[in-house]
Amino acid sequence: MSDRFWSQCKQAIEAYAANDVIAARRLLAEGQASLAGSSLDAAMLAKRHRHLKSVRSYVDPQSVVDEPEPQPIADGRSSEAQTAEIADLQRRVERLETEKNELSKRLVSLPSIDPLCLVDMAAPSALPELEPFGIAVFGHTRLEELKAVLESLKRQDALQYTEVWLDGHQGNPVLKQKVTKTFELVQGYPVKRIHRQNGQFAFRKLLILALSEMCGRYRDILVLEDDCFPTSDAVEQFRAEIEAVRSDPSIFSVYGHHFLTDSEGATCPRFQGWGWATTTEKLAPALRQLIDCYSMTEERYQQFVSLALTAEIRARIDVTPPRQPTHTLERFFAWDETLCLLTAMNGQVHKPTRKRTIYNCGMSKDSTHFADSARYRMPPYNLITTDEVWRYF
């Protein structure tokens, strides 16, 4: 019973994160039924009841009422009474199933704000005709880093696959001068598309919008920030390794900037956002969950993380000290650490490329996160400076 109860609570949280409120409520009802039929001692039963109540307060807060905690079945209780209570709970579950089916029919005709434009990417019949491969490169004001990335892709004949996403200035005249220079730099390379913003979206929103658009155009996607320098055969390696794990649903992504830690073997449970690739089939469901998390208030997001970040999940993803994803997860939304959590909840892992194909060159004296320091040249960071990139090409 114990394993089933904890699994039902975990699945309820995952269902809610995937916007399936009806399934989340059904799983909560099943968890309640598991408690009702329990013969655990009072302390253990009370602990499970409190956990169920905390999950319900997140998934379905209107249903939370002050009610007595269920008590363990007394030794002298008749089997008829137990059977009647279980039958009553089963009838409640059946009513919830009926409500779910009726609501599903109504939802078909409702509008959606899904940025994937109503296309269910998980349904093969709904998939548009996708091009085989696309590269998303992101930039804003860092000219030297972006230039190195584009030059590397040019030497690999990969600009034909490349769409560059540039954040904007929001009317700030000083910033406008900087982003105009970035745009002029990109214009000097024959990339497939340039997506230039006037508004300043900030990287999190720009990334989510770009991934949504790329999912609608490409079967496989490589994602490069402006400080993720690809080696001379990076694109070839990524395409081959995506193909090799295409049919393995347990591997979410392939990444090129290695952690070089003991936890990194043939796969790694921790997501790496510094140069990574995946398929639209694997990305689209996780992207929907990521968008949902991004749309939450910070208070609501922290509640979600608190419930989702079980001891098991924490132990699975906190494997790259001192750069641990939970250090960020428990404070605020970050796209890469949230994607790390979501994929771990889905039971997925990530595969390093056969050899290192990405070198993060974002370390510098002017960096907001990574000053030029010996500490950041060591695992799990393994950073270099822009001046060094061509040594690794």
180 pLDDT higher than 80: yes
Rounded to an integer, what distance in angstroms lies between the CA atom of residue 153 and that of residue 343? 29
Rounded to an integer, what distance in angstroms lies between the CA atom of residue 112 and that of residue 334? 25
Q: Is residue 389 within 8 Å of 229, Cβ to Cβ? A: yes
Nearest CA among 229, 319, 338, 322 for reference residue 274: 229
Report yes or no on whether pTM surpasses 0.85. no
Peptide bond before 132: cis, by omega within 30 degrees of 0?
no
DSSP H or E segment with residue 272: none
Taking residues 216-243, report their average pLDDT. 97
At 126, the amino acid letter reads: A
Which range is least confidently modeled, 63-67, 83-87, 178-182, 275-279? 63-67
CA dihedral (44, 50, 52, 53) in degrees, to 10, reads 160
pLDDT at 112: 35
387 pLDDT higher than 80: yes
Q: Is residue 305 within 8 Å of 17, Cβ to Cβ? A: no
pLDDT band at 62 (very low <50, low <70, confident <90, very high): low
Model confidence over 184-214: pLDDT tens digits? 999 999 999 999 999 999 999 999 999 999 9
pLDDT at 110: 37
Written as six digits, the tokens of 6 are 């904890």
Q: Is residue 178 within 8 Å of 195, Cβ to Cβ? A: no
Collapse the DSSP code of 312 into the 3-class scheme (helix H, G, I; strand E, B; otherwise coil) and give the result: helix
Higher pLDDT, 155 or 60: 155
Model confidence over 99-122: pLDDT tens digits? 656 654 443 333 333 433 334 444
Written as six digits, the tokens of 63 are 């249903």
Compute the chain's Rg from CA coordinates: 24
Strands 276-279 and 218-224 come out as: antiparallel
At 88, the amino acid letter reads: D
Collapse the DSSP code of 127 into the 3-class scheme (helix H, G, I; strand E, B; otherwise coil) and give the result: coil
Higher pLDDT, 78 or 7: 7
Rounded to an integer, what distance in angstroms lies between the CA atom of residue 384 and that of residue 229? 10
User: Which superfamily does CATH assign the domain made up of 125-391 to?
Assistant: Spore Coat Polysaccharide Biosynthesis Protein SpsA; Chain A (3.90.550.10)
Domain ranges across the chain: 2-107, 125-391
pLDDT at 65: 53
Which range is least confidently modeled, 5-9, 141-145, 284-288, 328-332? 5-9
Share of the chain above pLDDT 70, in %: 82
pLDDT band at 246 (very low <50, low <70, confident <90, very high): very high
Higher pLDDT, 25 or 289: 289
Taking residues 258-285, report their average pLDDT. 96
State whether the Cα torsion 25-303-208-167 is positive or negative: positive
Strand segments (E) across the chain: 131-139, 162-166, 193-196, 218-224, 228-230, 251-255, 276-279, 349-352, 358-360
Q: For the chain, what's the residue count? A: 393
Model confidence over 290-312: pLDDT tens digits? 998 998 899 989 988 988 888 99
- Look at the block and give the residue holding tokens 């796209």: 335
Model confidence over 1-41: pLDDT tens digits? 456 777 787 787 777 766 677 777 888 888 787 777 667 77
